[in-house]
Amino acid sequence: MTNNPKTSDDSGLTPAGHPEQKVLALVPALRKPDLMVPIRSLGANHRARIATHLKELNAHDRYYRFGFPANDEQIQRYVDGLNFERDEIFGIYNRHLTLIAMAHVAYSQLERHKAGAEFGVSVLPHVRGRGYGARLFERAVMHARNEGVRTMYVHVLSENTAMLKIARNAGAKVERDGAESEGHLVLPPATLDTRVMEMVEEQLAHANYQIKLQAKFIRNTFSAIAQAWRPGDPDRRARQRSAADN
């Protein structure tokens, strides 16, 4: 923020009439920086990272995500079968460009405005408890609304209390049938606000990803140079030539 008296008051906050506040009002996640999680749509070029992410889940996590303890081969078949043209995949990357959380919004084969969508999510163990699952669900709901979907479904094992809590907190009605539970959330129609929110969030997430990509390239470059110039190393010249070639 700026201290220019034309754009801020004594509190240091942007005044209500300022254009920036109008954008913040449309995107609730931007009002509190600590809650802003860059979530971007993933295309087929992210398929390998999706596979790596899912294979990092242990047997218990795979059981929750797929309903059975899927092995690596079964996960790979699932990833190979992802339809990026029909469905929507969302992901959260850390600064090392590791896919730490992802969601799959699978649409019905029917026309979207008459159909529902099913939500599935996975979060790596070391980043749980940060609200990533809930943020992915919010992002998926917003996208589904903008696509004309009327109902979002969550079909999970009844013991998956974390996912059921996310669904209930969003207002979904959950019905239990023995070992499995299904939640369904009736979605209101899209509005101008939801369309603007999705556009802004996607642009911010894309920019964030590009920054992380450039930062990783710079780190790798400096690391290679440092290794090439390490003193007392008999292979230094070979690494220098290799670094220069790259």
pLDDT of residue 70: 95
User: Per-residue pLDDT tens for 118-143?
Assistant: 999 999 999 999 999 999 999 999 99
Cα–Cα distance for residue pair 77/55, rounded to 1 Å: 12
* pTM tops 0.75, yes or no: no
Q: How confident is the model at residue 34 (pLDDT cuts 50, 70, 90)?
A: very low
For the chain, what are the domain ranges? 28-191
Please tell me the predicted confidence (pLDDT) of residue 31. 40
CB 187 within 8 A of CB 141: yes
Q: State in Å, rounded, how far the first CA of the chain is from the last one.
A: 41
Q: What residues have CB less than 8 Å from 173, skipping those under 6 apart? A: 183, 184, 185
Mean pLDDT of 142-167: 92
User: According to the model, what pLDDT value does residue 225 have?
Assistant: 78
- Write down the pLDDT at residue 169: 92
Q: What is the mean pLDDT of residues 188-216?
A: 89
Q: Please check whether the domain covering 28-191 is classified as CATH 3.40.630.30.
A: yes
